[in-house]
Amino acid sequence: MKIYVRELDEKEKSKHDSLQSHIIQSWQWGDFRKKSGIFVKRVGLFKEDALISSYQITFHRIPKTNTTIGYLPKSSVPEPEILNFLHKLAKKEAVIFIKIEPNVDKVMQAKGVKELLSHKNIVQSPKTIFAQNTLLLDLTKTEEELLTIIHPKTRYNIRIAQKHDVLVEEKDNEESLEVFLKLQSQTSKRQKFYTHPDDYFRRMWKTLKPQKMVHLLLASYKKEPLVAWVLFRFKDTIYYPYGGSSEKYKNLMASNLIAWEAIKLGKKIGCEVFDFWGALGENPDPKDPWYGFHRFKAGYGGRLVEFVGTYDLVINPVLYKLFILADKIRWIFLRAKATLS
C-alpha cells in the first residue's frame, strides 16, 4: 500500500477541514494567521492517494534572530510519517522545535501517545500554550435540562441579571468589536494577564466573520456596555475563547447572563457542544491565579476533559536547550513586572 506525506494546496481545503476537530486547525484560521505575518504550512498523510489525516502548522520567528519555532495545536495525534516529514522540513527552515498539542482526550488515546513518545526526536514539553483541560457542555440537551445542571449559585446570578434588565445582544459590527477590545484591555490590566494586540482581533474578525465562524455578544445595562464575549463556531462546536468586562455594576451579574445567552446562541445556530476553551484540572487549587475563571465556567455544568499533553519535536537540540532556559528567565521577569505594575 502506497503511504506518503506531502503539502496540501488550496483545492484540498474542504477535505482538510472535514478531518479537523477544532477551529484552530481550520483552513480559515490558517488564512487569518497568514494575514498576521505568520508562516503557515499544511501537510497531509495519504494512503493510495486518499487523504487520511492533515495538519496545519504555524511558524513563528524569534525576534532579532533567523530562527523560528513551529506550533501544531489542536490536531489529531500526528503519525510517525508526519513527524518524520516535519522534521526534515523544519531542518531546512532553521526551526528549533515544533510544539505539538493534540486536541485529543487523554482517556481515548493512550496508544497514540505511546507511539508519539517513541519517536526519537519527541520530548515531553516543559511548557504548555493551550490549557491542558477544558469543560465541554452538551448542547443537545433542552434549555430546561441545561438549567438543571447549572450550579444553583450560578442559576441565581443569571436570574439577578434578568431581574435588573441586563440586555444581551449579538452584534456583528466593527464598532462592537472595539467595545470588546476596550473591555478586554480593562480586564487584562485588572487581572494581570497578557492578551493579543488589538490588531490580532481586528484581522481575526475580518477573516472569520464572512465565514460565520465568529460571533460577538454584548451585555449592557441602561445602554452602558458591561461585558463582551467573542465566540468561535466550527462545525458542531461553539467556543468561548475571549471576554472582557467592566468594573461597573458587578452586582448585576452580567457575566453570568452573557454565558447563558452564549449557550443558547450555540443551540440556536445548531451546535452540539459548548467548549469553554480551557479549565483547571481535577481538584483545582483555590490559590491558582486561574481558579476564579475555572469556578465561573464550572458553574454551567460542563464535563471536564483532560488532553493528552504537550510535546516538542526537537530539530536543533543545542538551541532547544538554550531557548527553554531563556524562556524561563523571560517569564520570571514578565510575572515580576506584572506584579509590580
pTM of the model: 0.94
Query: In terms of Cα–Cα distance, which of 23, 21, 43, 19 is closest to 33?
Result: 23
Q: Which residues contact 304 (CB under 8 A, 6 or more apart)?
A: 133, 134, 135, 279, 281, 282, 298
Query: In terms of Cα–Cα distance, which of 203, 174, 175 is closest to 29?
Result: 203
Q: Name the one residue in this structure whose C-alpha cell is 510517525.
A: 80
pLDDT at 334: 55
User: Within 10 A of 29 (CB to CB), how many other CB atoms are there?
Assistant: 26
Give kind and range of the element (H or E) at residue 80.
Answer: helix 80-92
Give the pLDDT means over successive 10-residue stretches in the chain (341 positions).
94 98 98 95 96 97 91 96 96 94 84 83 94 97 98 98 98 96 94 88 97 98 97 98 96 98 98 98 94 97 96 96 85 53 41
Phi, psi of 107 (to 5 degrees): -65, -30
pLDDT at 107: 81
Write down all domains in the chain, each with its CATH number in brackets.
3-130+307-340 (3.40.630.30), 133-305 (3.40.630.30)
pLDDT at 340: 44
- Asked if residue 85 lies in contact with residue 5, where contact means CB atoms within 8 angstroms, the answer is yes
Query: In terms of Cα–Cα distance, which of 326, 320, 325 is closest to 98?
Result: 320
pLDDT at 339: 46
pLDDT at 221: 98
